[in-house]
Each structure stands twice: as structure tokens, then as C-alpha cells.
Amino acid sequence: MTVPGRTLVLGLARSGEAAAAALERRGVEVRRVDRSLGDDTDPALLDGVELIVKSPGVPKEHPLVAAAHVPVWSEVELGARLLPVRLAGVTGTNGKTTTSELLGAMLGTKVAGNVGRALTELDGQVEDGELVVVELSSFQLEDVHQLRCEVAVLLNLEPDHLDRHGTLEAYREAKLRIFENQRGDDTAVVPRGFGAVPGDGVRVEFHVDDALPAEPLIRGRHNRENAAAATAAARALGATEEAIAAALRSFPGVQHRLERIATVGGVEYVNDSKATNVGAALRALEAIDAPIVLVAGGRGKGESFAPLADAARGRVKVAVLVGETAAELAGELDRAGVANETAGTLERAVERAAVAAEPGDVVLLSPAAASFDQFRDFEHRGEEFTRLVRTRLG
């Protein structure tokens, strides 16, 4: 690609720093801007700038983005232009990380994007034409322009991030951008019966009951659906049935997603901190065939907790609630007749859950909400839950 001129990198989390470093290696003058460094809204920061690279956490309403008269790219758009790679993309409301990592295992290739390793972190570590699996969030897809996925996977589409996107339609449009630059020889992998998608890729459908070359090690019907999607994508990319089967049999799942962390006094403790929306928490409840003590709550994302409360009836013995959404969750659980108590903090919740649980029960952290009211991110929340269980109860 033609190397851009002076670039403003807005947001200096991991992807922002990786983008800035990749640009500077090419001699580009980079202006780093982040709230932690001072005023990140001064219009003078745009002086002489030819490009903005925006971190996923920065909304399009940010003053610098709204005032910009230059292109605005996501970090994955930059990575797709800078790196000489082929991309297999995975998006969806739930299951993105699991499916991306499983597909990477089937193909024996690197995984980047929303999974924690920014795409531009691979700068200098990939060969010409190398295939990379990239997990793509709606926040990243908002600002793609030329990014093209040889195989693009949409897992599912449910209400999420409505606090950011405003409407389900806007969220849907962001997700479907994964397909828009596909060519006739590319592949679009979608759930069976899903409506039309943009782009020119060959349509391949998947379903939870698809025949697979092996049954997945990871538990839950939703994970079998993820495995079916990964299998369809891997086949489209030329993976052998033997390689697909080996990955299905051995892939243990991802951290913070239905992660078994300890059994104490006959009670199993499961870290599902990655369940940051109601749909993800519903999948966790469905995957566990034991009485559940549910730890839930955090920062809301503009969706109703009513479906979670209804699903908890008959599955959840008691819900222990934390964070900003505790009162809202309590109201819905009361309506559904599900016992609940408010603990406030995760530390207190672990203590209360341990008291409520009996041998054979599962204490499940599946918050159905974002973590930013009390933690840096869902990883921090899951790590703290794990620490509390192992040090205080183990």
C-alpha cells in the first residue's frame, strides 16, 4: 500500500500502540492521542493529519472523529493494508473467540484481531500470502473500507452493544460489513436460513446438527454450533478432514469462556466472564446440566435481562448479583420467581455463592453485562474470580 502521511492514532490500548508502531516502522509521523495523556478532543490535534486510525473503544461520535475531513480506519483495516496476508474473518455476537481459535487450530495458522493480539502486532512476523484468522468485532468493522476476507464467517446476530450502536439495525449493518468486499471466489459462511449478505462470496451454510468429522471436546450445544461454523470455514480453506477432526478432539476452549477453574467441596466453579451480554449467558446456562449458583451483573449494554431471568427459572438455585445492573437484574429475577441476593462486589459474591452451593452444584460467573463498572475488562474480571476461588476457597 501507499504509506500514509501524518497519522493520528486515537486510543492507545493494545491495538492503538501496535498500529502506531507498525506505521513508525515505515517512517510515518504518528500523533498518539489518548484520554490518559490529556485532552483528546482538541481540534488542533487534527492539524496536518492525513489519516485517523481509531481504536475499537472510540465511538464515531468522538469530537475528533466527527470533525475529521480525512479517512478514518480501524486498526484491522490498517493491518489488512500493511501486512501481505490473506484473511479468514470471524464475527458474530457470541462465540467469536472460540470459533476463531478453533479455526486457527484446524488450519495451523495465527489468530489475531479482537482475540487480544492486534493484527498489526503480526507486522514482520508473517510471510507473503500467509493465512491469518482474524476475529472481528462490530466496533472494528465500523471502520473497514478495503479489508477483504477470503472466507468470512458470521456466527449469529443478537442484540448487543446497543448502548454504542443505538439500534439493532445499525449493529447488524456493522457486522455484515465483513462480507462487503468479498469476490466471486471467496466464501461467506452463515447460519442456515440466514438472510442475504453483501458481497459476492459463495454462500455456505452451517447448523448445529451438521455432521462433523469428530465431536468437539468443548461442552455445550452452542459450542457444537461454533464447531460446525469453524469446520465449514476450514473446509472452504482446504483443511483436511483429519486436521479438522484432530482440532475438534483436542481444542480445550478459551480462557474466560465456560472455563472450569476449580472443584471445592464437590462444587465446580466455572469462569464465563466473557459472557458480556444476555445471549452469551443464556448459552452458558444451557450448557450446564447441574444446579447453578449464578454470579451475574456489571455494566448494562442497553438490552433487557428478561430472557435471562426466564431461562434461569428451574436452572438457577440462586443468583448473586454484582455491579451497576444488580437492581435491574434483581427486578427481573423477582418477576420470574428466581431467588437472588445482591452482593455488590465480586469478592462478596464469591463468598455468598460458596455458602449457597452444595456438592454437585456449579457456581457460574456468567455476568450478562460488561465489566467496566468495576474492572478493566472481562479478562480482569475473570482473573479476579479465578484468584478469589483459588485463594479463598481452595
Alpha helices (runs of H) in 211-361, residue ranges in sequence order = 221-236, 241-250, 278-287, 306-312, 326-336, 346-356
Q: Which residues of 148-183 are buried (b: 16+ CB within 10 A; e: fewer)?
A: bbbbbbbbbbbbbbbebbeeeeebebbbbbbbbbbe
Q: Is 165 a catalytic residue?
A: no
The C-alpha cell at 8 is 493520528
- The answer to whether 77 and 146 have CB atoms below 8 angstroms apart is yes
Identify which of 290, 329, 297, 327 has the alpha carbon closest to the alpha carbon of residue 310.
329
Match 469462569 to its residue by C-alpha cell.
Answer: 271
Tell me how far the alpha carbon of residue 61 is from its chain's centroid: 22
Active site residue 161: yes
Q: How many C-beta atoms lie closer than 10 Å to residue 295's C-beta?
A: 26
Pick the catalytic residue from 54, 62, 114, 223. Answer: 114
Cβ distance 51 to 29 under 8 Å? no
Catalytic-labelled residue, pool 54, 62, 110, 161: 161
Q: Which three cell numbers stand for residue 107?
A: 488450519
Nearest alpha carbon to residue 51 among 8, 109, 108, 113? 8
Selected catalytic residue, list 54, 62, 96, 165: 96
Look up cell 475488562; give the residue: 377
Residue 362 and residue 266: Cα distance in Å, rounded?
9
Cell of 201: 462470496
What dihedral do alpha carbons 321, 322, 328, 330 form, nearest 10°? 20
DSSP at 21: H
Amino acid at 309: A
Active site annotation includes 96: yes
Compute the chain's Rg from CA coordinates. 22
Beta strands 316-322 and 292-296 are: parallel
Checking phi first, is residue 152 left (phi over 0); if not, alpha (psi -120 to 50) or beta? beta
Q: Please identify every residue annotated as catalytic.
A: 96, 114, 161
